[in-house]
Amino acid sequence: MGKCHYRTAGMIVVCLLLTALFCFPTEAREDSASLVFHKTAAPGKTTVYVVQKGDHFAGILRRQRGEHKKRVSYDLIRHLNPEIKDINRIYPGQKIILPLREPLEPPDAPSDVRKKSALPPPADAIKGQERAAAAESSAPAVRPEEKAPPETALRAPPTVEHILGFIRPVVGRLNGVLIAKGNYFIPLKEATQLTIDCSLIPVVELDEGTTALLDFGNRLSEEIKTLIGQSWPNYAIVPGDELGDGLAGLKAIIRRSRNYEMNEVGSPLVMLPAPEIRVYPDWIIATKKPVAGTTYRQGLFLLASNEKPLPGEARSFLEKNGLAVTEIFGDRAVTGPSIGKAAPMTVDLRGLKGIALAERLLKTLGETPVASTEIVLFDQAKSGFNLTITADLLLQKGGKRFAIHTKKLPDQFVRILKEGGTEVIVIDADASGRPLIEGLLQGLQIPVSFGHFAFRIPEGGNRPRVTTTFPALRVTSGGEPLYLLDFEIPPAVQTFINSLTGGRIVLY
């Protein structure tokens, strides 16, 4: 694709402006594209001429060859132009091939400019950033021989950068590239090359093969569009009336994509069922068909003036779970803060029961229980004999002492301990889960409640960006809330929930 084979050694290069080729109106004559032709002819060399208004063959040949030159046979003209049925009927914009005895030098065109206009390697040999870098480093935005006077120098419309600033980051997250500088070369059929000035007609290349030309000024004629379409079915022209703003332009590009689609989000995306995590982007760009077994999704979040970007933990969670996040404020992409200080480690109490569970839970709450501690019931000096019990756990809290025991004590012992300032809490040695946790914490007078807890980003405002809801036991001790969950939760989600709740996650 993009390669041309020639049957004769004779070949010339003629650089013609698009404005001359297709007779654009005066106000549309801008340096946005040019054609480079490579042609062959049986009886010698040829050149290409574009018919102007009022032209006829006799006059064209006279100007091309001069009065003193030998007249050209009309049979040769018919041979070189078999598509012309009647040489007496030609029209403006039509391309005709004329014989030439010696190379035609474009007037006042430096040789180095002609070299730049020669046919480069095929388009498939210069891709993506390599093509953009080569164009930016070697090709001027307006070619020297056609540079307009300073007062009429060509510049991109003032709204173009505003629109491109919106499109550029989104295309980048699609592993695509937006080229807005230098020249872009498109080989066409019949050894013809189209050169696009990317400062006037930016080019978007998507990773699935689609190439979109953003024709802001509607500079490309219908004939040029047809030529491109005939040679490159994966190329699309986006006219200026579809590029009214960044969002509209982006939709126009994606609408022409082979494997991407862009849809406004009507209902939130459920990222996880438990804990239930929902995300509310404004738009989603996704692949129509999976690539390598994976469906790509990019969420676009359009931020209002009073909205802040997502926290680093939320953005990281969404990215790791298959949603690329692009937040846009006005015409530029913005990024929120990075992940803050390391989130506290999730405490795992699963598999523990009885005293082991109670001891680990209390230490998680910041308490200091002491295992296997003797408590004196009767003292020999006072009662004439000694009697002690061994508490499985002994805890000093709030001026009180709590004995946590796995065996039921006689009521008399319990009364004596209570009179001495020790409360007795009996737990089952084989108990685990919610019954043990609630019973222990209620006995210790530590606030605990069960419910469905909901959090959102941002905390205020009319609309959320991310929400999470989960059932849990909530415990508050020392000012830090703990959320005790009895279901499996991936490590990445644990970090996200920890950051969202402002507390810690405990699994049991």
Q: What is the pLDDT of residues 32-59, one digit of tens each?
A: 555 544 333 334 477 888 888 878 777 7
Structural domain contains residue 307: no
Tell me, what's the pLDDT at 55? 80
Q: How distant, in Å, are the alpha carbons of 82, 194, 210, 222, 378 from that of 227?
A: 19, 9, 17, 9, 106
Q: How confident is the model at residue 22 (pLDDT cuts 50, 70, 90)?
A: very low
**What is residue 340's predicted lDDT score, i.e. its pLDDT?**
67
Domain presence at residue 399: yes
Read off the pLDDT band of 343 (50, 70, 90): low
Which is nearest to 376 in space by CA: 365, 361, 386, 362?
386
Provide the pLDDT for residue 91. Answer: 83
What are the backbone dihedrals phi and psi of residue 274, each rounded to the nearest 5 degrees, phi first? -145, 115
- Rg of the chain, C-alpha, whole Å: 39
Whether residue 350 contacts residue 364, with contact meaning beta carbons closer than 8 Å, is answered with no
Straight-line distance from the first to the last Cα atom of the chain, in angstroms, rounded to the nearest whole number? 63
Greatest mean pLDDT among 29-33, 131-135, 243-247 lies in 243-247
Domain encompassing residue 417: 352-430
Instruction: State the chain's mean pLDDT as an integer.
Output: 78
What residue has token string 């709204």? 159
Residue 412 lies in a domain: yes
Does any domain span residue 453? no
Rounded to 5 degrees, what are φ and ψ at 99? Answer: -70, 150
CB 51 within 8 A of CB 91: yes
Let me know if residue 44 belongs to a domain: no
**Which of 423 and 142 is assigned the larger pLDDT?**
423
Percent of the chain with pLDDT over 90: 44
Q: What is the reported pTM?
A: 0.64
**Contact, 200 vs 154, CB < 8 A?**
yes
Q: How many CB atoms lie within 10 A of CB 436?
A: 20
Q: How confident is the model at residue 341 (pLDDT cuts 50, 70, 90)?
A: low
Is the predicted pLDDT of residue 107 greater than 60, yes or no?
no
Q: Angle, nearest 10°, between helix axes 491-501 and 312-320?
A: 160
Q: Is 194 left (phi over 0), alpha (psi -120 to 50) or beta?
A: beta
The answer to whether position 377 is within a domain reads yes
User: pLDDT band for position 70 (50/70/90)?
Assistant: low
Residue 199 domain-assigned (yes or no): no
Over residues 457-475, the pLDDT tens digits come to 998 777 899 999 999 999 9
Bigger pLDDT: 140 or 277? 277
| Chain-centroid distance, C-alpha 390 | 64
Q: Which domain CATH number covers 423?
A: 3.40.1350
Task: Output the pLDDT for position 486.
Answer: 92
Contact 448, 438 (CB under 8 A): yes
The number of distinct structural domains making up the chain is 1
Name the 3-class secondary structure at 20.
helix
Q: What is the DSSP letter of 28?
A: G
Q: What per-residue confidence (pLDDT) applies to 32? A: 52
Residue type, 469: T
pLDDT of residue 146: 35
Spatial neighbors of 63 by CB under 8 A, at least 6 apart, are: none
Average pLDDT, integer, range 375-381: 80
Distance between CA atoms of residues 408 and 246, nearest Å = 73
Counting Cβ atoms within 10 Å, is residue 234 exposed (0-12), middle (13-18) or buried (19+)? middle
**Any domain includes 360:** yes
How many CB atoms are located within 10 Å of the residue 138 CB? 11
**Phi and psi for 494 in degrees, rounded to 5?**
-60, -45
pLDDT beyond 90 at 170: yes
